[in-house]
C-alpha cells in the first residue's frame, strides 16, 4: 500500500468508525509506528486534516465543530493503486474493442488519458495491455453515432421518438412513432425495446436499422418491466412474442462437451443421457433465431420437439438442398 492509499485508508477508517486507536491503524495499514506518525502529521500539515488524538477516548477522531472533511480539508483527486489502474486499463481496452462503432470512445478517452498519467507503478503499461489482450468480435453491425445518442437521450428523458425504420426481413421502410423502454446489447449489436404506436404493441428495433431519429416533445407511454419481459424477453433470442413453446434438442456426445456449458436462455433446462448425449430444453416465441442456431450444428443436433419446430427445420434444410444441391 503506497502513501496516497494510506491517506485514503486513514480517512475512511476514521469516517466510518468515528474513533480509531493507534493500534487499529497500524494493523489496517501494515506500517511501522514511525511511518504512521509521519502520515498523520503530513495529513495535518499539508491537507489541513482535522484529525486529533482524543486522550480520554484513547483514539483518533475528526475534530467536531465543522462538517467532515471540512471546508479546507480535501485529499487529492482521483487516485488508484497499481492493480486498480491495471484493471481499469484492461476494462477500457475490452470496452474499446467491443465498441467498434465508436459509441463510447468519446466518453472513455478522457478517462484513458487520466489512467495513463496515473499508471505509475502498474505492472503493465497501457500499450502492453492493448498488445497482450485481443478481442475478436463477430457480426457486429455499424450504426450512426448520432442515431444512438438520440435514442439514448429520448430513452432517459422519457420522450417519444419518430423514427424511419428499415425492417430487413421484409425490406420495408416505415415511419414510426415509438415510446422507448430500454436499450439491449445482444450478440454485439444494439436493440431498442419500445412501444410502437403504429402497431400498438411492444416491438424491438435494431438501432443500426434506424435511418432517421427525432425526439418528440411527447411523454413516453410507459410499459412495466414485467410486461416488457413477458412479451420481448420470455422466449429465445431477440425476437419476442406472447405465445411461448419449449424446444427440446438432443446433441451428440461429442457436441455435448460444449453445449452442456453454454447458456442459450436464462430459463433453459438440460440433462445428460446414458450414451453421453445432451438434451437441452429452451423456451421460444419466435423460431427465426433459434432455427439459425440449430442449423449451424448440422448432424450434431436432433430436434425432438415440438413437431412444428421439427417441420420448420426440415423445410429449411430442404430449401438449402434445392438452392445449393
Give per-residue pLDDT as tens, 139-153. 667 777 678 888 988
Instruction: Give the Cα separation of 6 and 158 in Å (integer).
Output: 44
Instruction: Give the Cα separation of 7 and 29 in Å (integer).
Output: 10
Instruction: Give the Cα separation of 37 and 153 in Å (integer).
Output: 51
| pLDDT at residue 200 greater than cutoff 60 | yes
All three cell numbers of 236, joined, read 429465445
| pLDDT at residue 66 greater than cutoff 90 | no
- Asked if 60 and 99 touch (Cβ cutoff 8 Å), the reply is no
Mean per-residue pLDDT of the chain:
83
How high is the pLDDT of residue 233? 76
Place of cell 430442404: 318
* pTM of the model as a whole: 0.59
Residues in the chain: 325
All three cell numbers of 325, joined, read 444441391
Instruction: Give the Cα separation of 249 and 301 in Å (integer).
Output: 7
Amino acid at each position: 500500500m503506497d502513501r496516497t492509499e494510506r491517506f485514503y485508508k486513514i480517512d475512511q477508517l476514521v469516517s466510518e468508525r468515528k474513533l480509531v486507536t493507534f493500534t487499529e491503524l497500524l494493523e489496517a495499514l501494515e506500517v511501522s509506528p514511525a511511518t504512521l506518525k509521519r502520515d498523520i502529521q503530513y495529513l495535518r500539515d499539508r491537507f489541513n486534516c482535522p484529525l486529533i488524538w482524543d486522550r480520554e477516548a484513547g483514539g483518533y477522531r475528526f475534530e467536531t465543530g465543522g462538517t467532515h472533511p471540512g471546508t479546507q480539508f480535501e485529499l487529492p483527486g482521483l487516485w488508484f493503486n497499481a492493480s486498480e489502474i491495471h484493471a481499469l486499463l484492461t476494462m477500457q481496452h475490452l470496452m474499446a474493442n467491443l465498441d467498434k462503432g465508436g459509441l463510447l470512445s468519446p466518453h472513455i478517452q478522457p478517462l484513458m488519458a487520466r489512467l495513463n498519467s496515473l499508471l505509475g507503478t502498474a505492472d503493465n503499461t497501457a500499450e502492453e495491455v492493448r498488445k497482450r489482450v485481443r478481442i475478436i468480435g463477430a457480426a457486429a453491425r455499424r450504426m450512426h453515432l448520432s442515431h444512438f445518442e438520440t435514442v439514448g437521450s429520448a430513452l432517459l428523458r422519457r420522450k417519444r421518438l419518430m423514427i424511419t425504420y428499415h425492417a430487413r426481413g421484409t425490406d420495408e421502410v416505415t415511419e414510426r412513432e415509438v415510446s422507448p423502454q430500454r436499450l439491449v446489447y445482444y450478440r454485439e449489436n444494439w436493440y431498442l425495446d419500445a412501444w410502437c404506436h403504429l402497431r400498438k404493441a411492444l416491438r424491438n428495433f435494431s438501432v443500426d436499422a434506424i435511418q432517421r431519429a427525432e425526439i418528440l416533445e411527447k411523454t413516453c407511454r410507459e410499459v412495466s418491466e414485467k410486461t416488457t419481459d413477458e412479451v420481448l424477453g420470455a422466449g429465445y433470442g431477440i425476437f419476442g412474442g406472447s405465445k411461448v413453446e419449449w424446444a427440446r434438442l438432443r446433441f451428440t456426445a461429442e457436441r455435448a462437451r460444449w453445449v452442456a456449458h453454454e447458456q442459450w436462455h436464462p430459463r433453459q433446462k438440460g440433462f445428460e443421457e446414458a450414451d453421453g448425449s445432451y438434451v437441452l430444453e429452451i423456451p421460444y416465441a419466435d423460431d427465426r433465431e433459434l432455427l439459425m442456431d440449430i442449423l449451424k450444428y448440422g448432424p450434431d443436433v436432433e430436434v425432438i420437439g415440438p413437431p412444428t419446430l421439427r417441420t420448420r427445420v426440415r423445410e429449411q434444410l430442404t430449401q438449402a438442398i434445392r438452392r445449393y444441391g
